[in-house]
Amino acid sequence: MLATAHLSRSALLFLSRREGLKDVATRLGPLRELAGRFIAGETLEEAVQAVKALNAQGLMASFDHLNEAVRTVEETRAEVGEYRRLMTRIDQVGVRANVSLKLTQCGLLFDKALALENARAVVSEAASRGSFVRVDMEQSAVTQDTLDTVRALHAEFGEAHVGAVLQSYLRRTEADARALCAERVRIRLCKGAYLEEPRVAFPDKRDVDANFIRVMKVLLDSGVYHGIATHDERMIDATLDYAERQRLPKGAFEFQMLYGIRRDLQVQLAKTGFPVRIYVPYGKYWYPYFMRRLAERPANLWFVVKNMVKG
């Protein structure tokens, strides 16, 4: 059973990187419908409506415009434009939300300087509005470049306007967490969602979880405002326990979860007075994001197969 789960995870993550499927998938009706559980819509307005509903339940949000692994300069410029529109709309509507951005969306896979320039434009817009940009973490091949870019932006705009993401499955993460905390960079800690070699990432879930708890403690000890991003109740309980033992006030950090996953837990945690932020992806290119969500839980795959056969 475990071996089958591992196989389907690897297969789904492999498929998530097939660029050619990005456009094809968006035209597949049943797949698109199922993706609707995890994606707030294809348009900015649909995402705004989803965030309004979350806000009404006491949940904050982070919008993410889906379009990773972008390959042309023009497309990266269009992404910057989308984020400017998004931040304008956040202010107009007055929703409680910030934004999340991927550097491969800004051109990191073919031009690092361009990616920095584009990300800088987005963070600059956020800073002028008193908002915050979380730079998502992608595959390990871009970890160092991503952290270098965040450090450059942090040096220019400060901790209130830009932050990083670290993944507990990576062997390097504890060292990165200690270094970034010393520099007062805000971190979102998650487990990690990409297909990685055992050389760079722990293959065993128990090690990923143990590292999550180790790094969570480093973050909570740092006095910087971080995000603990997980739906794993054991990770959440360990965080609540540690925060209580360290006598941290409820607003010292926030919990973060993904749109459409464990909605019960999202609301329950918010009701206890802890800040909770929901990651709200939207856009046409939902395919790789959707495949990573399927890979996280083999049961999701059976749900898809059942629905495709039925439909």
User: Do 298 and 16 form a contact (C-beta atoms < 8 A)?
Assistant: no
Residue selected from 63, 225, 253, 279 as contacting ligand FDA according to rule CB under 6 A = 279
Neighbours of 172 (CB within 10 A): 15
User: Do 213 and 238 form a contact (C-beta atoms < 8 A)?
Assistant: yes
The pair phi, psi for residue 66, each rounded to 5°, is -75, 120
Q: Which residues contact 64 (CB under 8 A, 6 or more apart)?
A: 99, 100, 101, 102, 136, 279, 280, 281, 282
Q: How far is the CB of 71 from ligand FDA (least distance, A)?
A: 20
Give yes or no for residue 35 binding ligand FDA (CB under 6 A): no
Q: How far is the CB of 247 from ligand FDA (least distance, A)?
A: 25
Residue selected from 142, 229, 243, 291 as contacting ligand FDA according to rule CB under 6 A = 229
Residue selected from 76, 118, 173, 230 as contacting ligand FDA according to rule CB under 6 A = 230
Catalytic residue selected from 9, 120, 134, 136? 136
Catalytic residue selected from 9, 134, 188, 277? 188
User: Do 87 and 131 form a contact (C-beta atoms < 8 A)?
Assistant: yes
User: Do 64 and 282 form a contact (C-beta atoms < 8 A)?
Assistant: yes
Residue selected from 42, 79, 136, 176 as contacting ligand FDA according to rule CB under 6 A = 136
Placement of tokens 């109740």 in the chain: 233
Give yes or no for residue 146 binding ligand FDA (CB under 6 A): no
Q: Which is nearer to ligand FDA, 73 or 141 (CB)?
A: 141
Is 188 one of the catalytic residues? yes
Q: Which is nearer to ligand FDA, 153 or 258 (CB)?
A: 258
Residue selected from 132, 191, 218, 238 as contacting ligand FDA according to rule CB under 6 A = 191
| Token representation of residue 117 | 């320039």
d(CA 120, CA 142): 18
Give yes or no for residue 104 binding ligand FDA (CB under 6 A): no
* Residues catalogued as catalytic: 136, 188
